[in-house]
A and B are shown apart, each in its own frame.
Chain A
Amino acid sequence: MRLLVIEDDRDAADYLVKAFREVGHVADAATDGEDGLAMALDGQYDVLIVDRMLPKRDGLSLIGALRDKGIETPALILSALGQVDDRVKGLRAGGDDYLPKPYSFTELLARTEVLARRRGGRNEETVLRVGALALDRLSHQVRRGEDEISLQPREFRLLEYLMKHAGQVVTRTMLLENVWDYHFDPQTNVIDVHISRLRSKIDKGFSQPLLHTVRGAGYMIRDGAR
């Protein structure tokens, strides 16, 4: 995917561009709001990564200007202001995701990929499938092969989110935000326990596990056979 990093800290911008290129993406950088807006207006990018505070034009106004012109490129806002209301402000201004600094690159990458994928056609099928695992969003039934798996409502939502992003890394904070709607960091890794519960329900007794832990990043559901 093609990314535009708009970040005034040149070191941080260079680091991001380099890191994105290393994992196989194409990334450009802009170091102020006006340049960033001009480049983003070309519309050649899949995702924009926008620092909240930029010289010449701040991140929120940049995104607002883009949206006014009908350009809907997903934008992820980076900000040193990590508070809930700043997040809300960012999303209200037209941002699609929000990541407080300091962030880890794996977190940023995971979120960027989710945003890029979302653009490539909204995942609205009623039945999500990963290998033999099928989740029916209407009847709330989950099957793996012939076996019906019974899940608690929250486990269902957890699995649904993972399957919606099958093949992509999903971080713990993404799960906490999207499945639980919490934007804080529980001091203990409660998510891990929920995942291991879910895993015991969908993977237990099968030789081929679907739910994988990605070390240092999060989780991914994928069909290993493929």
Chain B
Amino acid sequence: MTALGKLFRTTTFKLTLVYLTVFALFAAFLLGYFALNTRRLITEQITDTVNAEITGLSEQYRLGGIRRLVIVVDARARRPGSSLYLVTTFTGEALAGNVTALAPGILDNPGWTETVYHRIDEAETGEHPDHHALVRVFQLPGGFRLLVGRDLEERERLYHIVLSAGRWSVAIVIVLGLAGGLFVTRRVLRRVDAMTETTRTIMAGDLGERLPVAGTGDELDRLADNLNAMLERIEALMRGLKEVSDNIAHDLKTPLTRLRNRSEEALRTAKNDAEYRTALEATIEESEGLIRTFNALLMIARAESGQAREDMREFDAAEIARDVGELYEPLAEEKGIALKVDADTPAKVTGNRELVSQALANLVDNAIKYTEPRDLVSNGATPEIVVRALGEGDRILLTVADRGPGIPEADRSRVVERFVRLEQSRSQPGSGLGLSLAAAVARLHGGELTLADNEPGLKSIIALPRGGPVQMAG
């Protein structure tokens, strides 16, 4: 596509053309209206003047008869810039006046007519330009006829001036409009081209690029701002994705390597069935851990992609708290921890029951894992975990509070990330995905996971909006 073709195709240029047409039509209408009205006004003036003269002259005739009329007419006709006069007998013989060569039959019809004529003084010098005049023929008593008129040249000249002014202004409107349109279009086009160019770079893989913002705050800037915000989000997501794949690579490769080493070692060193069996059992156990990690990752991915939004319905979070509490109570008890559930009032919420259960289960699981009753008893504290479900305004809060070592404030946002486990917990079993899953589930529901100090211990809070996730506007 040529540059010019591109220019003509732009929305701005098309808009310019529409505006141009509208303005040209408007200018033409305005001038046309002006011209017509001016013409009408001049005609009215002529009519008035002629009528006044006829009144005056017929008065002269009444007072002094034809002789006086002829004298007055002759006198008036000789004045420069005078009106046109002609006095004739009933046969049409001219008695006085300054016109000749009227169109035939004019004098026979009393009233208003437009006619061509020659001025007598011009006829004498031999020039015969045709003039136009508006004349009135008046029948005087006694058979004489009086013709009074005004030349129309002035009117026509004005009319032509206005007409050519009209033509010019339309032409100027078109030229200026086109030039302005092209100018604006090119400016817009240049910015859009710059944006397109950037977009191409981004598509080519450079997600760090941002669209240019002119700083004028106009619609293009707003568009660029929004697109930039979108890019920001995409970049963050991509970063997350990369992190995940790095983490997957790390946390899945490590057990895979162990798995392989163990198998190889068994092949190399095992001497009897029993030893093979032991090695194989260890292999299966290891692979089960892997599957578990994998499932957790998939679950997080699913929660984060928002797919699970489809099967959201209303359920009672208090019931979930009680169920999860019941599921984990024996495990806690076995470890010497009292697991208490405080969820007596229903807390209805819209969401994915299964995922929320799992998120809460993960928090309880963590709490049990990291509570060491022996340390607590020696410090004089009661080893207990409290699971709570309560409504608070338009949210419901699922809280798990333990008396474990807690998480230092500086680490709290970090542990929510995938695979992050604090050094002291490396020895604990688990994929390191429990908190990430809980956080992903909370986000899926439009809520959040917060970790707070239980003084001492950790308080994990899943806050969910009662109505479920609100679809993001726009």
Chain A positions within 8 Å of B, measured between CB atoms, are 82-85, 88, 100, 102, 104, 154, 180, 182-188, 190, 193-194, 196-197, 216
Contact = CB atoms under 8 A, between A and B. Distances in A.
Given A184-B358, A187-B362, A193-B330, A85 B311 contact: yes
A116 B22 CA distance: 83
Q: Which secondary structure characterizes the binding site on chain B?
A: helix
A186 B330 contact: no
Contacts of A186: 327, 361, 365
Interface in B305-330: 307-308, 310-311, 323, 326-328, 330
B295 interface: yes
Contacts of B299: 83, 184
A188 B365 contact: yes
Interface of B: 281, 284, 287-288, 291-292, 295-296, 298-299, 302, 307-308, 310-311, 323, 326-328, 330-331, 334, 352, 354, 357-358, 361-362, 365, 368-369, 429-431, 434
B221 to A, nearest CB: 42
B308, B327, B358, most chain A CB atoms within 10 A: B327
Nearest to A87: B354
Contacts of B287: 102
B358 A102 contact: no
A184 B354 contact: yes
Given A85-B311, A216-B284, A184 B357 contact: yes
Contacts of A185: 292, 295
A102 B281 contact: no
A197 B308 CA distance: 35
Contacts of A82: 295, 298
B371 to A, nearest CB: 13
A-B pairs, top 10 by smallest CB distance, nearest first, are A193-B330, A184-B358, A193-B331, A84-B354, A190-B331, A197-B330, A187-B430, A85-B311, A193-B334, A187-B365
Contact of B431 (A100, A180, A184, A187): A187
A113 B369 CA distance: 35
A197 B327 CA distance: 12
A183 B354 contact: yes
Contacts of A180: 323, 327
B327 A188 contact: no
B302 A83 contact: yes
Nearest to B430: A187
A181 to B, nearest CB: 9
A104 B298 CA distance: 19
A185 B289 CA distance: 11
B330 A182 contact: no
Contacts of A85: 308, 310-311
Given A85-B310, A187-B362, A102 B291 contact: yes
11 contacts: A82-B295, A83-B302, A85-B310, A88-B311, A184-B299, A187-B430, A190-B327, A193-B331, A196-B330, A197-B330, A216-B281
Contacts of B310: 85
A184 B323 contact: no
Contacts, number: 66
Nearest to B298: A82
Given A82-B298, A85-B310, A85-B311, A188 B331 contact: yes
Given A82-B295, A84-B308, 14 more contacts: A82-B298, A83-B298, A182-B327, A184-B299, A185-B292, A187-B292, A187-B362, A187-B429, A187-B430, A188-B331, A188-B429, A188-B430, A196-B330, A197-B330
A187 B308 CA distance: 21
B338 to A, nearest CB: 15
Contact of A182 (B308, B357, B431): B357
A154 B323 CA distance: 10
B286 to A, nearest CB: 13
B356 to A, nearest CB: 11
A85 B303 CA distance: 13
A150 to B, nearest CB: 16
A12 to B, nearest CB: 16
Contact of A187 (B291, B311, B434): B434
A175 to B, nearest CB: 11
Nearest to A195: B330
A196 to B, nearest CB: 8
A184 B330 contact: no
Contacts of B430: 187-188
A77 to B, nearest CB: 17
A216 B287 CA distance: 13
Nearest to B354: A84
Contacts of B362: 187
B357 A190 contact: no
Nearest to A191: B327
Contacts of B334: 193
Contacts of A182: 327, 354, 357-358, 361
Contacts of A83: 298-299, 302, 307
Nearest to B290: A102
Contacts of B291: 102
Contacts of A194: 327, 330
Contacts of A88: 311
A154 B284 contact: no
A149 to B, nearest CB: 17
A154 B327 CA distance: 9
A82, A185, A190, most chain B CB atoms within 10 A: A190
Nearest to A155: B330
Contacts of A197: 330
Contact of A190 (B284, B330, B358, B429): B330
Contact of A188 (B288, B298, B308, B368): B368
A190 B328 contact: yes
A136 to B, nearest CB: 23
A186 B287 CA distance: 16
Contacts of B284: 104, 216
Contacts of A100: 295
B357 to A, nearest CB: 6
B322 to A, nearest CB: 11
Contacts of A104: 284, 288
